Amino acid sequence: MKRRWTRPTIAIPCGLLLSALALYFGWQLPHRELCSGDVCETTLAIDWHRVDWGIPPERYACGVPHPGPGNVLIGPGAICVVADGFGELERNTYEELRTRAAVRRIVTLAVIGLILVVTAATATGRTFRRAPRG
């Protein structure tokens, strides 16, 4: 009787943790910043007020998936240029950035769905096994 609950008690928390990690990395969740004067410090807490849940995102800044108050928003027709001290590294249009963000978010939702389906199948004991030959 004890072994009956072993699989669900392991599978469900692991599945939820993997889903949360997929959401965190796939949605690129922003961290809260604490600013004092000219110095800003990033904390581990998620800034849920800045999260843009749209697919594709409604607001976009060059290189910032969830713009904050200090970021300049870009719009249709804008070009985002990423450069270092030696030259241009990347050049993308606003439309390319939104398309890339939309694909990333759709793939994230698909991965979360797959994780939850596998978790449910594992927790209920309905694993995908081949029928015995005979």
How many domains does the structure of the chain reveal?
A: 1
Query: Per the domain annotation, does 53 fall within a domain?
Result: yes
Query: Per the domain annotation, does 25 fall within a domain?
Result: yes
* Per-position pLDDT tens, the chain of length 134: 456 667 778 888 999 999 999 999 999 999 998 888 888 898 999 999 989 898 888 888 887 888 888 888 898 999 988 888 888 888 899 999 999 999 999 999 999 999 999 999 888 876 555 566 66
Contacts of 8 (CB under 8 A, 6+ apart): 123, 124
Tens digits of per-residue pLDDT, 18-34?
999 999 999 999 999 88
Query: Per the domain annotation, does 86 fall within a domain?
Result: yes
Q: What pLDDT does residue 48 have?
A: 92
Q: What pLDDT does residue 16 have?
A: 94
Query: Per the domain annotation, does 131 fall within a domain?
Result: no
Query: Per the domain annotation, does 31 fall within a domain?
Result: yes
Residue-number span of the structural domain to which 116 is assigned: 2-124
Query: Per the domain annotation, does 134 fall within a domain?
Result: no
Tens digits of per-residue pLDDT, 107-120?
999 999 999 999 99
Query: Per the domain annotation, does 133 fall within a domain?
Result: no
Q: What pLDDT does residue 6 have?
A: 72
Specify the pTM. Answer: 0.78
Contacts of 73 (CB under 8 A, 6+ apart): 59, 60, 61, 67
Q: What pLDDT does residue 79 have?
A: 92
Burial (CB < 10 A; 0-12, 13-18, 19+), residue 56, is middle
Contact 128, 27 (CB under 8 A): no
Query: Per the domain annotation, does 104 fall within a domain?
Result: yes
